[in-house]
Amino acid sequence: MRDRGATLAALCDTFVPGGGTLPSASALGVPGVLRAEVAALGRPALVAELDRLLDTLDSPALNLALTGRAVRFSALERHAREAYLLRWAASPLALKRRAFQVMKRLVLLYTYGAEGSPYARAAGFAPPPLPPPAERAPLRLRAATAGETIDADVCVVGSGAGGAVAAAELASAGRRVVVLERARARLEDEFGRGELDGYAALFYDRGIAATEDRAIALLAGSALGGGTVVNWNTSLRIPPSVAEEWQAAGVDDLAEHYESVAARSDVDAEESARNGANAALERGLLALGRRARTIERNVSGCGDCGLCMLGCRIGAKRSVLRTYLADACAAGAEIVHGADARRIETASGRVTGVVARVAGGELRVRAPAVALAGGAILSPALLLRSGIARERAGRGFHLHPVSVVSGVYPDDLGGLWSGVPQSVLGDGFAEVDGAHGFRLEVPQALPGTLAASSPWWGAEQHRIRTAQARHTAAFIAIVRDRTAGRVIVDGAGEPVVRYTCGGLERRLLVRGMVEAARVHAAAGATTLFTLHTPPLERPADRLDELVTEIERRGVVSNRLTLFSAHQMSSCRIGRERRSSVADPDGRVWDVRGLFVTDASAFPSASGVNPMLTVMALARRTAQRMAAAS
């Protein structure tokens, strides 16, 4: 077998060959970074998958069967390698499209996202100066120690929106609370160190997680403070139609809990300034006679300093780091970080504790009550590894699939990395099919993410596209999904997300792209493009032609880049144990003392950004936990 390093370098340099003053991807060290990042996930199967792809690319025999030519990819000249990749990109074979998209995303992410990347500079990105950090929140933190046993009244697994609220409520009720957080603690003075560093330290699977078929990129916080540290501050409540569904599942009125968590989190619309992209969304919606709502955000003293999704260095984001975790610690709770909960222990139908994997071994927390708050991907995996709710845990999984349409504008909009991430909401399409529809919002995106998600149809086409980043606004259509996926665990006990959009979701994703394109055109964009492969782009004055082509192409796995930043419902609450993991109080069926207090408990998809609802539902459940004990 030839050197895989040479094959990987050839692959990287096909996507980013350099030219003029710009170096190639391999000259920037991207091949080594890419392999190291995949290895750092700690999943040998993914490293093996990468190696199989490289072996396939450089095998004359396999290429003879696949292409009719007995060639090595690494021996081809660049334009021939480019043509080779484009055949894979447009292939009718799903495995070829998947391989192309995975490698395209990784190479471009690590090229444009690297600190000081000349490609990010060419896209118009200049890292904002780091402001002085806020004083660290007063937390009782300590690193996990192998072999240790800790006694507590309650063990809270996870420190995000749900876990932090549960910990604060239970500690204030006089319980001895220990919070287990799988990530290493990172606080205010450590935020803002760069895109790749932030993804590696603050996101699940180092920011490159995806569904099993790699068709939907998954963004999920995995940090002290969970998603509240990296999200875009959007603080919404479920609409009445969803509230009715949840009431039928036994979740009664959340109004009191919403009011409490919103007040503690400084939720209001006073600091929802419009950056270039949000102003365009508002302008386009109003021009079409559509409502444009101002988004309420959980911030206080926001300096609009950028890099919001890498943690708030100035402490303006009222994440649970600065609210509920501080409250919990003030009431006596302790946070043990670097502790990955691997199994829940039970005896005679009652929870007795949690065992966590830590550096050098295991740690055990002995407790008669456990609040499960690891998130909609990790919580069901923990139950499955523990042999709890095996027939139901992981089922009913929802993720709000997201499609994107971008518009290029005559004016410099500042780039999607600048200003307030989300301040405008278009919810006029929220109930297209009963209680299901989509909402239009604006994402924050740094250069690596922008480059990785942009269609690649040759290096020159991609370079031209990314050079327009400061003039480009992206609108996302966030779909409330009805079709459910599933979270399972692999042979090593790690979670695998199985999800395929159903007919309703595909129709709504298409409609979302169509309406987003219309809003861009009304807002004054000159060029419109989707994230299809091959690229789909039209001048704004040929909008009808673009709409027809969007509808013709539709949504096909790995022919359209999709995202999800909202995962939920994988350990859902319900009245019937045959179709739910927990009862209406959040108590796991048949296991006394075990409660679900995160987004996995949602009876169905929320339809809106879930943070505030996670917190409200966790407060409700924690109060029931306290009453039960």
Active site residues per annotation: 566
Query: Could you give the C-alpha distances from 372 to 135, 307, 351, in angstroms and in order?
Result: 30, 30, 12
CA distance 446 to 310: 10
Q: 544 CB contacts (<8 Å, ≥6 apart)? A: none
Q: Strand, coil or helix: what is 365?
A: strand
CA distance 112 to 171: 44
Report whether 594 contacts 344 (CB < 8 A).
yes
Provide the pairing of β-strand 154-157 with 177-181: parallel
- Tokens 């259509």 map to which residue? 477
Q: What is the largest CA-CA distance in the chain?
A: 72
- Tokens 């710009």 map to which residue? 22
If residue 355 lies in a helix (H) or strand (E), which one and from where to where? strand 350-358
Length of the chain: 629
Among 247, 249, 297, 200, smallest CA distance to 609 is for 297
Q: 566 CB contacts (<8 Å, ≥6 apart)? A: 398, 399, 400, 478, 599, 605, 606, 609, 610
Q: Would the CA dihedral through 364, 571, 324, 593 be positive or negative?
A: negative
CA distance 35 to 51: 10
Provide the pairing of β-strand 562-564 with 216-218: parallel
CA distance 247 to 252: 5
The token pair at 4 is: 């895989």
Q: Residue 189 — φ and ψ, nearest 5°?
A: -70, -5
Report whether 82 contacts 458 (CB < 8 A).
yes
The token pair at 312 is: 């708030």
Q: Residue 377 — φ and ψ, nearest 5°?
A: -95, -45
- Tokens 């929140």 map to which residue? 137
Among 553, 507, 506, smallest CA distance to 529 is for 553
Centre a 10 Å sphere on the Cβ of residue 255 and count the other Cβ atoms it contains: 11
Report whether 165 contacts 597 (CB < 8 A).
yes
CA distance 103 to 87: 14
Among 432, 506, 412, 517, smallest CA distance to 474 is for 517
Q: Residue 236 — φ and ψ, nearest 5°?
A: -120, 155
User: Which alpha helices (DSSP H) does 331-374 contain, by range?
Assistant: none
Q: Residue 287 — φ and ψ, nearest 5°?
A: -65, -30
CA distance 446 to 109: 10
CA distance 449 to 120: 11
